Amino acid sequence: MSYTCVRFVLICLISITLTNCEARPEKALQSTAEPDTTKSVDSKRNEPENSYAKLRNIAFTVTPEQFGLALPSDKHIVYGVVMDWAMDDAIATTVAFSSGDASLYLSSGGGIIGGGQHEKVSAVAKSFVALAQTMLTKSTKTEATPLPRRDVVNFYLLTNRGIYVGQDEMNNFQNNSSKWLNLFIEGNNVLAELRKTEER
């Protein structure tokens, strides 16, 4: 997927409100969030407060067990990825777990949750996390999870031994020089499949 196509996907998504897919919601997010995030949320109509920060924080605090994942204690395993992309006046946060659960949160107040119930979304979410496993040695352990500055992409790798981070600037993705390029492409495959769920 080219940068132009990915940018188009994000532009199309900026105005989408946080939507509940009609089947099962993401179990971990449902059980952890207050209020119930399985409901449709529109910060301009239903809530005076943007839910972005709360939902993003939940992504960092859910445990593998809440997704029904049993991780081996003797191996360093990536079970989730949070990709923050700061572009123009909004930040798009793509969240994926090895269970196949995936969501998109927009700092503008929109996004999509519960995408993992769709087969294609689940497949690309799992692929995204699997590829993140190979990037673990290129990342750094972190206690903080700040948002990136404009035109920077942060990758937070959620593991059974803590959170790891890597980042790069958009111009390095555009000129194909970034060591995080393949993970960026996989993350945007998740974005594209999430967008398709809104078109159905």
- 99 DSSP assignment: T
pLDDT by residue (tens digit) across 29-79?
Answer: 443 333 333 333 333 434 435 799 999 999 999 999 998 888 888 999 999
Query: Given the structure tokens 């035109």, which residue do they identify?
Result: 151
The strand pair at 19-20 and 111-113 is best described as: parallel
Beta carbons within 10 angstroms of residue 49's beta carbon? 9
Predicted pLDDT of residue 32: 36
Task: Give me the percent of the chain exceeding a pLDDT of 70.
Answer: 75
**Strands, sheet with 140-142, edge to edge from the N-terminal-most edge strand:** 19-20, 111-113, 102-106, 90-97, 78-87, 152-159, 162-169, 140-142
Query: Quick check: 22 pLDDT over 70?
Result: no
C-beta of residue 42 within 8 angstroms of C-beta of residue 18: yes
β-pairing verdict for 78-87 and 19-20:
unpaired
Chain segment 91-113, per-residue pLDDT in tens: 999 999 999 999 999 998 888 99
Domains of the chain, residue spans:
3-199
- Identify the top-confidence range among 25-34, 84-93, 123-132: 123-132
| Paired tokens of 154 | 């942060």
8 confidence band (pLDDT: 50, 70, 90) = very low
Q: pTM of the prediction? A: 0.79
The stretch 112-141 carries a mean pLDDT of 95
